[in-house]
């Protein structure tokens, strides 16, 4: 998040931001407030991804545990699979198609 955006949200006092951790998918609640000349933030970390990431959400969150392990934010990797003759991202498939993809068995062409 840019500091200007944070200042705008904090004009009227403390602010809360909620999201899901990009690593463990736990719910994250970040509380921020200005105290004198200091910005106090607790509950995790958040990041506004650049437009080049094509991120579906405005902010990416990390819970305190995951942020302590790795403080870097990464774009989500989109997984594609070939289904009924078309390459499709798995995150756009309905439950039935996902179940079909999960039931498939993988094999190694080198061993055949």
Q: Please check whether residues 84 and 37 belong to one and the same domain.
A: no
pLDDT of 93 above 80: yes
Is 58 inside a domain boundary?
Answer: yes
Q: For residue 29, which of 65, 60, 61, 77 has the smallest C-alpha distance?
A: 61
Pick from 3-12, 20-29, 79-88 the range whose average pLDDT is largest: 20-29
Cα–Cα distance, 33 to 99 (Å, whole number): 45
Q: Please check whether residues 24 and 43 belong to one and the same domain.
A: yes
| Per-residue model confidence (pLDDT) at position 67 | 84
Q: Please check whether residues 36 and 86 belong to one and the same domain.
A: no
Report pLDDT digits (tens) over 63-88: 888 888 888 777 767 778 876 777 88
Residue whose pair of structure tokens reads 């990464």 in the numeric block: 74
pLDDT of 24 above 80: yes
Locate 3 and state its tokens: 């500091």
Which domain does 91 fall in, by range?
80-106
Cα–Cα distance, 109 to 98 (Å, whole number): 24
pLDDT of 1 above 60: no
Q: Please check whether residues 17 and 55 belong to one and the same domain.
A: yes
Q: Please check whether residues 7 and 26 belong to one and the same domain.
A: yes
Q: For residue 47, which of 13, 66, 14 has the smallest C-alpha distance?
A: 66
Q: Please check whether residues 89 and 58 belong to one and the same domain.
A: no
């Amino acid at each position: 998040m840019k500091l200007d955006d944070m200042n705008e949200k904090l004009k009227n006092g403390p602010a809360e931001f909620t999201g899901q951790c990009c690593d463990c998918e736990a719910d994250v609640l970040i509380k921020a407030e200005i105290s004198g000349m200091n910005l106090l933030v607790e509950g995790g970390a958040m990041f506004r991804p650049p437009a080049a990431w094509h991120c579906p959400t405005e902010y990416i969150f990390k819970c305190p545990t995951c942020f302590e392990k790795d403080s870097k934010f990464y774009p989500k990797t989109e997984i594609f699979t070939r289904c009924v003759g078309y390459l499709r991202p798995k995150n756009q498939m309905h439950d039935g198609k996902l179940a079909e993809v999960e039931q498939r068995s993988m094999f190694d062409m080198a061993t055949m």
